[in-house]
Structure formats: structure tokens, C-alpha cells
Structure 1
Amino acid sequence: MKILVVDDHAVVREGVRRLLSAIPNAVVLEAATAHEALNLARKEAPDVLVLDINLEGASGLELLRRLRIESPNVRVLMFSMHAEPIYANRALKAGAYGYVCKSADASELTTGVLRVAEGERYLDSTIAGELVMSSVRAEDPLRKLTNREIEILRMLGEGKSLQGIADAIGIAYKTVANSCGRIKEKLDLPRTSDLIRFSIENRRN
């Protein structure tokens, strides 16, 4: 089985590679960027692609959508620090086969890769429970936002400036500023300071 691990942190890639290399007959490849991942996916045709949501430049969700078009046979398992149901929902709707949080036990990632390789869907126990609970709670206000708006909100919560967000995503400063305006309208937040506070309060490490 050929596995491609896509994460912009070298230490994470190394840890995941060592973990998944214990799977019998597994060949584990690595990529740090969306560009590298697309090239390797075309060249190596991996069975499973383990993908982080947070990448420099194009987000993991954007890469996922491109993979569905360019390498439709690759099965994608999202591997993210985000345990919020909204991220898992967006990933699954975009075509991911599964979702595992980085806070989950190592065995959950191994199990997820094996299940996804067989064409099954897989959610780790934490995110599965969160998805169940979210279905009985009041509507999550983040559901009103687009994937790009959620990405911008996440970066605001990390303390990035608007210019820093623009540089990280690869879009114009004005586009980020306009997006922040739409986010404030959708979340009914009158001031930018309210938006920043909301982004921090709704951020999970």
C-alpha cells in the first residue's frame, strides 16, 4: 500500500511516516505543500493520502477539491488539529473518506488509513462524538461561512494580520478585508474587534 502524507510541519510528517511504516507492505511518501502533493499524487498514484487542513498557500480543503478532479482514485484521510464538527463536515462533503484529529490516539490514525484504503469511511472517536452532538445543538454560526471565510477566521484567531493572511493564502489584501466584512455581517458582529475576539474564542489548539 502506498501512502502520501501531506503536512507543512516536518516533525509531524516524520512522526506519521514512522507510525504508518509499521503497516505491512506500506510505502510512505511525504509532501510539505499542495504543489508537491499534486505532483506526487500524479506520479506515484498513492492508495491513501493523509492530509492536513492547515497548509501554507492553498488550504487542505482546496487541495482536496483539486485531488478529486486530478486524481479521483486517491482516497483522502484528513488529519487535523481541528476537532470542531464544521471542519469534518466540510472535509467529508468535499470528498474526504475520513477525518482523524491530531489529538487522537496513534492507533486511530493507523486504523483510519487501513479503513480508508479498503474504501470505508472513518471518523476517530472524538470527532464522531462531536458530530453527533452538533446534530442536536442549535445551528453552528460557522455553517454560514464559506471554506475560505473559515480559513480567514482561523488565521485571525492565530493572531495573523490581514496582510499576513493575504500572504499566507496567496490573495490580495483587499480580498481579505472584504471577506472580513462579509464574515462580520454573517456572524452579526458590528466591529472588527468583535470579529477578532470571536475568532480567538472559537479557536481550539
Structure 2
Amino acid sequence: MKILIVDDHTVVRDGVRRLIESLKVSEIGEAETPSEALAVFRRLRPDVTVLDINLKNGSGLDVLRRLRADDPKARIVVFSMYSDIVYAASARRDGALGYVSKSAPSDELLTAIEKALENEAYVDRETAALMAEHESVRSGVTDLSRRELQILHMLGDGKSLTDIAEGLGVAYKTIANTSTRMKEKLGVERTSDLVRFAIETKGGRMLEGGDRSHSGK
């Protein structure tokens, strides 16, 4: 069995390497950046890729899509610092078999890898509980386009619609219209609700209290 570990922190890669020594691994590849990830993936053709979301010079979610485009049968487990249904739903939609938070017990990553080898899905218990508890929110998130998810993540980073328009090199009206569609999909009425949703889900928390219009939430 061959495993590829994609993470921009050496200590994390070392930890994952030690963890998977209990499995029958014949070769382990490592990468820090999106370009390295694709190059090592094509050389190694791993049975499972363990992929971080935050990488040097790019997004792990972009790498996920590139790896899946290169090999539609690629088995990928996203290993993220976020217990976040936005990231989890996005990763699952783009073909990841597993999603495990770095705060989860180490045995959950092993379970996710073993499940991926059998082409079975696995989400760590904490994230899975959030997804089950907030099913209607998760469903709304999976309806978002990749650009809408990108904007949601940028809102979660504290950027305004003006900042986002400038960062993406598009007109403010384009971002404003997109945010309107996002509000409809997520069931919120105001831009402030959308921003609050983005910030709180990015931190692994769901909306609690206050005035919002998620049905049943």
C-alpha cells in the first residue's frame, strides 16, 4: 500500500507517517505545495492521499479537485484543522472519501484511511455530529457553487463584499448578486446573517441564538 501525505507542516507529516506505520505501507510520499502534491501523486499513484486544506501557495480543496481530475478513482482523506461542515461538505462534494479534523483522536484518521481503501466514506465523529445536527444547513452548503463557497470562506476571514470584489478582480455588483443567491440557498435574509454564518461555521461552530432564519434552527 502506498500513501501520500500532503501538508505544509513537517511536524504534521512526521506525525501522520508515524501513525500509519501500523498499516502495511510499502511507500510513503510527501508534499508541501499544490504543485508538489500533483507531481508526487502522478509518480507514486498512491492508494490513499491524506490532504490538508491549508497549503503553501494554494488551497487543499483546489488540489483535491486537481487530483480527482487527474485520476477520478483517487481515494482522498482530507485532514483539516477545521471541524467545519462548510469545508467537510465541500470536500465530500468534490470527491473526498474522508474528512477528519486534526483535533480528532488519531485512531479516526486511521479509520478514515482504512475506509478509503475500501472505497467507503468516513467523517470524524465531531464533524459528523455537527453535520447531522444541522442537516438543513449542510444541505444548503452543498448547493453552493465553488465560487460561492470561496466567497463564503472569504467572508469567514472577515472580508467585506467590497474586499472580496477587489480580491477576485470583479465588479462589486457581481459579488452582491452572488451573495443574494447565497442567502437564498442558505435560508438567511440579510447580509449580516450571511457574514455571521460564514464566521461561525468557519470556526467549527453553528449559529446559536440571535435573529436568523434557518428553518428549525
Same fold (TM over 0.5): yes
% same residue? 42
Task: State the Cα distance separating 1:163 from its structure 2 match.
Answer: 11
For 1:40 and 1:25, locate their aligned partners in 2 and report how far apart those are by CA, in whole Å: 16
- SS of the residue corresponding to residue 202 of structure 1 reads helix
Residue of structure 2 in register with 1:134 after alignment: 134
Residues 202 and 72 of structure 1: CA distance in aligned 2, closer, same or farther (over 3 Å): closer
- SS of the residue corresponding to residue 92 of structure 1 reads helix
In 1, are the aligned partners of 2:5 and 2:49 still within 8 Å (CA)?
Answer: yes
Task: State the Cα distance separating 1:2 from its structure 2 match.
Answer: 0.8
Task: State the Cα distance separating 1:172 from its structure 2 match.
Answer: 5.6
- SS of the residue corresponding to residue 169 of structure 2 reads helix
Task: State the Cα distance separating 1:3 from its structure 2 match.
Answer: 0.6
Matches within 5 A, 1:163-202: 173-175=168-170, 180-185=175-180, 186-187=182-183, 188-190=189-191, 198-202=197-201
Residues 17 and 180 of structure 1: CA distance in aligned 2, closer, same or farther (over 3 Å): farther
Matches within 5 A, 1:73-112: 73-112=73-112
Residue type of the alignment partner of 1:153: L
For 2:171 and 2:18, locate their aligned partners in 1 and report how far apart those are by CA, in whole Å: 38
Query: How far does the alpha carbon of each residue in 1:20-77 deviate from its partner, in whole angstroms, 9 at most, with x for none?
Result: 2332334322111111111111111111001122334442222222212212342111
In 1, are the aligned partners of 2:52 and 2:78 still within 8 Å (CA)?
Answer: yes
Residue of structure 2 in register with 1:149 after alignment: 148
In 1, are the aligned partners of 2:161 and 2:176 still within 8 Å (CA)?
Answer: no
Residue type of the alignment partner of 1:174: G
Give the superposed CA RMSD.
Answer: 3.2
Gaps (5+ residues) in structure 2? Answer: 184-188, 205-217
TM-score, reference length from structure 1 = 0.77
Query: How far does the alpha carbon of each residue in 1:58-117 deviate from its partner, in whole angstroms, 9 at most, with x for none?
Result: 422222222122123421111112222232222222111111111110011012112212
In 2, are the aligned partners of 1:162 and 1:173 still within 8 Å (CA)?
Answer: no
For 2:73 and 2:110, locate their aligned partners in 1 and report how far apart those are by CA, in whole Å: 20
For 1:13 and 1:104, locate their aligned partners in 2 and report how far apart those are by CA, in whole Å: 16
Residues 105 and 96 of structure 1: CA distance in aligned 2, closer, same or farther (over 3 Å): same
Residue type of the alignment partner of 2:38: L
Gaps (5+ residues) in structure 1? Answer: none
TM-score, reference length from structure 2 = 0.73
Residue of structure 2 in register with 1:114 after alignment: 114
Residue of structure 1 in register with 2:27 after alignment: 27
For 2:26 and 2:46, locate their aligned partners in 1 and report how far apart those are by CA, in whole Å: 11
